[in-house]
Amino acid sequence: MNIRVGFGFDVHRLVEGRDLWMGGIKIDHALGLLGHSDADVLIHAICDALLGAANMRDIGYHFPDTSADTLDIDSKILLRKTVALIATKGYIVGNIDATICAEHPKMNPHIPTMKTCLAETIGTDEDNISIKATTTERLGFTGREEGISAYATVLIAKTS
């Protein structure tokens, strides 16, 4: 079996007047993430990791922030398209291990729902998705609550 590993990272600024989307779900918060799409940093990091593992460049290459087609798009659509893209090279998702860095809101209460949503979006078992949450101990832009970042590591396997 041919397996590959990929790593992804994304960050977006927190602003007023936007919904906060994380892991495919809307989280009640006074601020949301600024971006061309819905700015779901967790999904974006996962997409980059999947594309990197398949040696298919990055999310901005496939879904540019200059395209009207991706303006305000639901990132779950980007994730489905990413899984379809890696499938064109014969790969399936093995597992995902991701970390969200945010001071507020607290992400841990939302992790089970995120896992369910991502598993349904990808078409995999929830046990193949690990999501963790951490803070930066009030240090840096995350600590000042200026933005949220996410990291993802994935394993993909060749099916043919």
Sequence ranges of the binding site? 10-12, 36-37, 44, 58-60, 134-137, 141, 144
Both tokens of 51, joined, read 């594309």
CB 29 within 8 A of CB 47: no
Annotated binding site for a divalent metal cation: 10, 12, 44
CB 5 within 8 A of CB 158: no
Residue of 19, 129, 148, 144 whose CA lies nearest to 79: 129
Q: Residue 90: which region, alpha, beta or left (left: phi > 0; alpha: psi -120 to 50)?
A: left
Q: What residues does 32 pair with on adjacent strands?
A: 15
Q: Cβ of 66: how many Cβ atoms within 10 Å?
A: 8
DSSP secondary structure code for residue 63 in this structure: S
- Three-state SS for 146? coil
